[in-house]
Structures are given as C-alpha cells and as structure tokens.
Structure 1
Amino acid sequence: MGLELAPYTYSVEKGKIREFSAAIGDPNPIYYDEEAARKEGYEGIPIPLTYLQVIDLWGGYSFEQKCQMLNLNPVKILHGEQGYQFLKTIYAGDKLTVSGKVADVKVKQGSSGGMNLVTLEFEYRNQFNELVARSRNVTIERH
C-alpha cells in the first residue's frame, strides 16, 4: 500500500476521441466537430466521460506491466470497480501527466476462497499543471 507508480504523459488527440465515441456508439457531435462543441459552450472537442480508460490503456502501463508491478496473477484477476471525478474539462490538444498509487489492499475470504482487492488511484494534470481529473479502480485477484 502507498506504492507510487511512475508518472506518464498522454497527448489527447481529436482522432482518438472520434474513434472512441464511434466505438461506444455515442453520436453526440461535440465529440466529432469543433464548431458543434463550441456551440455547446466548450473551448474545443471534449473527451467523453469514460475516455480516461483510453488514456490509461494507451498512455499508461500495459496489463502485463500492472500485473508484474502489483505481483498479480493475470489469469486470476478481473476489473471490480471504476470511478471518475472530473474537476475541469479535458480537451483534444491537452497534454496530460498522470500519476498513480496503490491506495489500498484488502484480503477477503468467501465461501469459494479468498481474494485480494487492490485499489489504485490516479490523478490527471493538464499542460498547465491543473488537476483535471481523478480515477479510482479496484482490481480483484482470486486466490
């Protein structure tokens, strides 16, 4: 617990926002067209709410790296919980620096055996060093 992960950076791209929005079936024009986004009061094309997963996947640590860092068996884990807190809008063109840590580790016993619950917390800062978002996720590893 308290393990600090090395920070990484990720440049938010319009094309990736469009691809993600199409993949999740979100036709909202604010994710595809800058003029539509400005008409809705945005400074540019914003990210969809769950886009932080893209940032973590493409900018952060791979699944294998996370398992190795946290000493988890990759065939015995699953994603248990995910939460986001947005403090400012993240836009295409932003360059984010992401820092993370292991916030909690719990061991629980159940009728079918035990499991580890590993909670990771991340902070996302833009190119102006403004805290724009936080995420928290729980990974479950069965014994």
Structure 2
Amino acid sequence: MIDRSFIGRSFPPLHVDVEPFQLRAFARATGQRDPIYWDEEAARAAGYRALPAPLTFLFTLDQDREDRFYFINAMGIELGHVLHGEQAFTYGAPICAGDRVTLTCTCMDIYDKKGGAMEFVILKTQATNQLGEDLGGMTGTIVVRDPK
C-alpha cells in the first residue's frame, strides 16, 4: 500500500529557465506551423513577450528534474509496477522564451480499486513565472499494479 500520508503533500519546487531553442525544438517535434513559434517578430506582433510555448510544453519542463521519478521514489513505489493512467492540462498565461518557470507538484489523492490490486496516485503540478503569473498546470494519474 502506498502511504496515504502523501495526500496533500507538495514536493520541492523546480525552477526552470525557458530557452528559445527548447521552444523551437518542441514546436518542430509537435508539427507547429504558425510563425509565432519560430520568429520573434511574429510572436511579438501577435502580442507575446517572446516566442511562446506550444500548449503541452509544460510537461517537458517537469522532465528537467535530476530525478525524473522523484515522486515515485519518494513514495517508495517500484517503477516496474507503474502505468501512466491519464494526463490533463489547464492553461493560464503563455509560457515564453526567457521565462523562469516554477513548478510545484502536489499529491492530490491516493486510492485503490479491485481490493488493492491497483492503486491510483493523482498528482497536480502548478506553474508560475518570474512575474508571478499563473501559467496553468497539469494533472496526472499513475496506476500502480500489485505485483502479486
């Protein structure tokens, strides 16, 4: 059983600087064609401070941690028993090149189904920038299978 005392607990925040090359690489990988993702002038003409991030870029920022499985390791979960269940995003102010983004992940819930054969961990990550603007967040669910 995963320790339910993690419910409501936040993990140490992550601070990430957003670089133009990261945004261009993500835009290329996701097939973005709008010039706001490639051209600084087009981005500014569209009302952005700098190149904006495509919508799901927030997920890649959270991967910048030294330990990509920080919450799994902190909770004592065996990685081999973890399945990705669901991912959802909310959007706030746009993330732009030059931003310093702070990501704070909180365990929102832990529950089980099928008599404990599967446990579910709900994590919510909120993002803000150096201006204190809410950039939105993401909610993820992992499923932990009982090894028996």
TM-score, length-scaled by structure 2: 0.86
Counterparts of 1:1-143 in structure 2 under 5 Å? 1-59=7-65, 61-63=67-69, 65-109=70-114, 114-143=117-146
Percent identical among aligned pairs is 34
SS of 1:58's equivalent in the other structure is: coil
Alpha-carbon distance in 2 for matches of 1:135, 1:55: 11
Give, in angstroms, the shift of residue 59 of structure 1.
4.1
Give, in angstroms, the shift of residue 8 of structure 1.
1.3
Query: What 5-or-longer segments of structure 1 have no aligned partner?
Result: none
Residue 3 of structure 2 is matched in structure 1 by none
SS of 1:43's equivalent in the other structure is: coil
TM-superposition CA deviations, 1:36-57 (whole Å, max 9, x none): 2223332321111110111000
Q: Does the Cα contact within 8 Å between 1:122 and 1:134 map onto a contact in 2?
A: yes
TM-score, length-scaled by structure 1: 0.89
4+ runs deviating over 6 angstroms: none
Query: What 5-or-longer segments of structure 2 have no aligned partner?
Result: 1-6
Q: Does the Cα contact within 8 Å between 1:8 and 1:60 map onto a contact in 2?
A: no
Q: Give 1 or 2: higher strand fraction.
A: 1
Q: Does the Cα contact within 8 Å between 1:79 and 1:138 map onto a contact in 2?
A: yes
Q: Note closer, same or farther for the CA distance 1:131–1:61 as it changes in structure 2 (3 Å cut).
A: farther
Give, in angstroms, the shift of residue 86 of structure 1.
1.2
SS of 1:117's equivalent in the other structure is: strand
Q: Does the Cα contact within 8 Å between 2:58 and 2:137 map onto a contact in 1?
A: no
Q: Does the Cα contact within 8 Å between 1:34 and 1:45 map onto a contact in 2?
A: yes
Alpha-carbon distance in 1 for matches of 2:30, 2:49: 23
The answer to which of 24-33 and 89-98 deviates more is 24-33
